[in-house]
Amino acid sequence: MLKIAVIGAGTLLGRELVDTLEARDCSVLPLSHGPMTRDEEFADLVMFAPEASLLEGMDLVILAETPAAPELLDGFPGRVLDLRDEPEASLEPMPLVGGWPQGKLALRGRPALEQVLGTVPRLVSGLGEVGGTHLQSVAHLGDLGVDGLMEQSAAVFKGEDPDIATLGFRAAFEVVPRVPRGRLVQVQVPVFHGDMLILHLRAAPGQSLARLEAPQGVEWREVPPTSREVAVSPFLLAHFTPADDGQAGVLILGFDPILWGVLMPILRLLEL
């Protein structure tokens, strides 16, 4: 039985990690990021303030949030997985396939979008140019995104102007395009969970596009998935429509940034 400590267990990601790992018969120690408030102490999830002594005998520490005391992990002999929004840049990213690399004590997580794009060559052969649009839910912001969208939506229903202080932008009933990154355009959409990636593919010279067998963690769909379907699926849901000549096509990929983008890769990484 793996002994795992989750620092930041009170966050959206942290709660999901605790539930998922406990369901796989792991021994999970939920830790807050620092001293707890009274509300946190009496919350449904029993958490403990992080102390170095509590990490003794642990096989793995998962960072869902930055600990208040940075020296907490100094001298920790086990493995560390950094899943924070801004992980330690010097750490090697977790592999896209397979288990934990031998000889590595610390890894950082990969953004869900990076994992999806890394999967594309295993979904369609003959790839040349790839571009498209990422429809991003607020789930990537964790509790901040979910609570912010909920508060703004409630205000709009009451006929009030929503307070944008929590998120920094209006999310309720708004579609917000971001500055393009290369050939990929990111658009924030007013849904809580479930991201969609709509890719326009062109074949490499002398080749044609063809759908491949779905690798582990991917499920081909005969019709494009909806964000609701994506939000409750542990799979990357995929739909491919090629042009008649095979020289172009549209690949639609749906994924939940926490369920598919974090929880499933961790189970694969730890071989659970």
Res 40 pLDDT > 70: no
Contact (CB, 8 A) for 65 and 11: yes
Residue 45 makes CB contacts below 8 A (sequence gap 6+) with 9, 10, 15, 18, 30
Say how far apart CA 239 and CA 224 lie, in whole Å: 5
pTM here is 0.82
Provide the CATH number for the domain formed by 116-257 in this structure. Answer: 3.30.360.10
Contact (CB, 8 A) for 184 and 198: no
Q: What is the pLDDT of residues 248-263, one digit of tens each?
A: 999 999 999 889 999 9
Most confident of 28-42, 171-185, 225-239: 225-239
Say how far apart CA 105 and CA 123 lie, in whole Å: 31
- What integer is the mean pLDDT of 183-199? 93
Res 39 pLDDT > 70: no
| Farthest-apart Cα atoms in the chain, separation | 65
Res 82 pLDDT > 70: yes
- Retrieve residue 28's tokens: 């999970």
Q: What is the pLDDT of residues 139-181, one digit of tens each?
A: 878 778 888 888 999 999 999 999 988 888 898 999 989 888 8
For the chain, residues classed under CATH 3.30.360.10 are 116-257
- What integer is the mean pLDDT of 118-127? 96
**Class at the top of the CATH hierarchy for domain 3-109:** alpha beta
Q: What is the pLDDT of residues 10-20, one digit of tens each?
A: 888 999 999 99
- What integer is the mean pLDDT of 92-114? 93
Q: What is the pLDDT of residue 182?
A: 85
For the chain, residues classed under CATH 3.40.50 are 3-109
